[in-house]
Each structure stands twice: as C-alpha cells, then as structure tokens.
C-alpha cells in the first residue's frame, strides 16, 4: 500500500493522546493510519502531513488498518 500525501483524504485529531488518525483512499479502498504521532520540534499546520511525516508516524508505531 502507498501511504502517501497524494492518497491522504483526511486527518482527525485525537485529543486523548495528541495523535491523528489518517484516512487514505488507495486503489478505491479506504485505509487508516491510527494514532499517528507528530514529529518533535516541528510546527503542526494544516499542511503538516507530507510523505516524510506520514512515514515517520508509521515508523513510530502507528497502527495500519486496511479494508
């Protein structure tokens, strides 16, 4: 699967643990990266989620859910 900025359709902030759930549409199917952590010392803006920050979140233990 390609968890890239181009396939990202939404990000939803989790107040309870300061993470995001990221929604992707890949080959017509929905997939999620749950509890995506933010990089330290980086400003979080509406354009925060890039290929680099998505890869960081996955490498940092985010849970992947696929249809």
Q: Kindly state the percentage of the chain with pLDDT values over 90.
A: 91
Name the one residue in this structure whose structure tokens are 């359709």: 9
Q: What is the pLDDT of residue 1?
A: 65
**Which residues neighbour 59 within 8 Å (Cβ) at sequence distance 6 or greater?**
none
**Which residues neighbour 30 within 8 Å (Cβ) at sequence distance 6 or greater?**
23, 24, 67
Q: What is the pLDDT of residue 67?
A: 81
Query: With a cut of 50, which residues of the chain have pLDDT below it?
Result: none
Q: What is the pLDDT of residue 47?
A: 92
């Amino acid at each position: 699967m390609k968890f890239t900025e181009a396939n990202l359709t939404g990000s939803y902030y989790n107040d309870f643990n300061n993470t995001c759930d990221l929604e992707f549409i890949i080959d017509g199917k929905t997939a999620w990266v749950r509890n995506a952590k933010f990089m330290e010392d980086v400003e979080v803006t509406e354009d925060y989620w890039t290929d680099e920050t998505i890869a960081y979140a996955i490498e940092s233990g985010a849970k992947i859910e696929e249809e």
